[in-house]
Structure 1
Amino acid sequence: MNLLTRSFISTVIAADLLAVVYFGGTYILTGSMLPHHEETKIIVAGAEETSSEGSAPKAAEPAFDPATYVANVENGMKISAKCKACHTFEQGGADRTGPNLWGIVGAPVTHKEGYSYSSAMIAEKAKIGKWDKEHLNAYLENPKEYVPGTKMQFNGIKKPSERADLVAWLETLK
């Protein structure tokens, strides 16, 4: 064995030993290899707690009140990642499976020239005219139910707060 090979093998063995000492020490000190986050418990006034056996009913989620909810635009931008497989959001962006959504809030339902909308969406334009926040919210909850026959294959966003955040973010695209 030449000197270079011996040096390489020694380096690999030393690195392995250091890794074992580092990770072993971390495990001994923390009891875990992964960071541990303390569980935060939120208690809703008037709600019943559940025991670990599940004998008591679970606390109901507080009702969503759009009048008091302050939308989080940054969260809306994160939620829009669900839409990026089919839509673009840049001004003048290309259409994909779905149309570009720049300026969608307040725009006519079939707002994109040259995009081939379904007959169901064309009928929706005749019914509501423009995409306001309320119609977008209802559509995003369950597109296939809101506009039967739509080409949109997305199942919807079930959480009202997430829809409100997404619509607030879409409203900034002007």
Structure 2
Amino acid sequence: MNSFELNKIMGAVFGALLFVVGVGVLSDALFTPRPAGIAGYALPTPEGVVTEVAEAPAEEPLPILLAAADPSRGEAAMRACASCHSFTPGGPNGVGPNLHDIVGGPKAHIDGFGYSAAMREAGARGEVWGYEELYGFLANPRGYMPGTSMSFAGVRSAQTRADMIAYLASITANPPPLPEVAEAPAGEGAPAVQ
């Protein structure tokens, strides 16, 4: 086969490809899709019927959750955190700092660790890791402390968070006392004490 025949074949292939691309561009210009609009239709609501969205059940107060917390369940839950943190006295820092002796201790407690600016500022203000603070941070780290570099999504279960805090308190030398359960005032569902 000579080069002239090869050129004719290649020209035909490239011409066909150019034709297909041109037809595609032209069809996109001529036929533009319209948005679909709203699917379905609104159903009428019978008169006299009140539609309400059920509220999420309220969480138990933290003191009640901590009173029922189990450090062994918390230790099991903290295994997910062991990929970034250590929990032994004098243990190494990982991606996150060592969490031994953290309850009641200052935020950004390890000198030289690469904390986020938000955590360093909290430590500089003298903030500590109390029970409420740990509870909020474990629920949603980025919601509790915007700007934190912790990429953990949070723990949904309130009781699991309380168990984790109980475990952290169990590996703390002098943890602060557990918060007291606030008594409901008389007349609000609690019987009056006489």
- TM tier relative to shorter chain: 0.5 to 0.7
The residue number in structure 2 matching 1:82 is 80
Which has the larger Rg? 2
Contact (CA 8 Å) 2:109, 2:123: kept in 1 or not?
Answer: no
4+ residue segments displaced more than 3 Å: 60-63
Greater RCO (CA < 8 Å, at least 6 residues apart) = 2
The residue number in structure 1 matching 2:115 is 117
TM-score (norm 2): 0.56
What CA distance in whole angstroms lies between the structure 1 residues aligned with 2:126 and 2:135? 13
Is 120-129 or 133-142 further displaced after alignment?
120-129
Decide which of 109, 129, 152 is 2:150's aligned counterpart.
152
The residue number in structure 2 matching 1:94 is 92
TM-score (norm 1): 0.62
Code of the aligned partner of 2:169: E
Aligned identity (percent) is 36
What CA distance in whole angstroms lies between the structure 2 residues aligned with 1:67 and 1:132? 12
What CA distance in whole angstroms lies between the structure 1 residues aligned with 2:157 and 2:126? 24
The residue number in structure 2 matching 1:108 is 106
What CA distance in whole angstroms lies between the structure 2 residues aligned with 1:66 and 1:131? 15
Contact (CA 8 Å) 2:62, 2:132: kept in 1 or not?
Answer: no
- Closer, same or farther: CA 62–110 of 1 in aligned 2, 3 Å: closer
What CA distance in whole angstroms lies between the structure 2 residues aligned with 1:143 and 1:128? 19
What CA distance in whole angstroms lies between the structure 1 residues aligned with 2:96 and 2:70? 25
What CA distance in whole angstroms lies between the structure 2 residues aligned with 1:145 and 1:62? 19
Per the TM alignment, residue 148 of structure 1 is displaced from its structure 2 partner at its CA by 1.0
Per the TM alignment, residue 126 of structure 1 is displaced from its structure 2 partner at its CA by 3.8
What CA distance in whole angstroms lies between the structure 2 residues aligned with 1:90 and 1:159? 25
Unmatched tracts of structure 2, length 5 or more: 1-52, 173-194
- Closer, same or farther: CA 114–158 of 1 in aligned 2, 3 Å: same
What value does the CA root-mean-square deviation take over the aligned residues? Answer: 2.1
- The 5-angstrom pairing of residues 25-44 of structure 1 reads none
Per the TM alignment, residue 62 of structure 1 is displaced from its structure 2 partner at its CA by 6.8
What CA distance in whole angstroms lies between the structure 1 residues aligned with 2:136 and 2:149? 16
The residue number in structure 1 matching 2:163 is 165
Q: Secondary structure at the match of 1:84?
A: helix
Q: Give the number of equivalent residue pairs.
A: 118
What CA distance in whole angstroms lies between the structure 2 residues aligned with 1:150 and 1:89? 20
Residues 76-121 of structure 1 deviation map (CA, whole Å, 9 limit, x = unaligned): 0000011011000000000000000000101110111221111111
Q: Secondary structure at the match of 1:67?
A: helix
The residue number in structure 2 matching 1:16 is none
Contact (CA 8 Å) 1:105, 1:132: kept in 2 or not?
Answer: yes
Per the TM alignment, residue 65 of structure 1 is displaced from its structure 2 partner at its CA by 3.3
Code of the aligned partner of 1:65: P
The residue number in structure 2 matching 1:64 is 60
Per the TM alignment, residue 128 of structure 1 is displaced from its structure 2 partner at its CA by 5.7
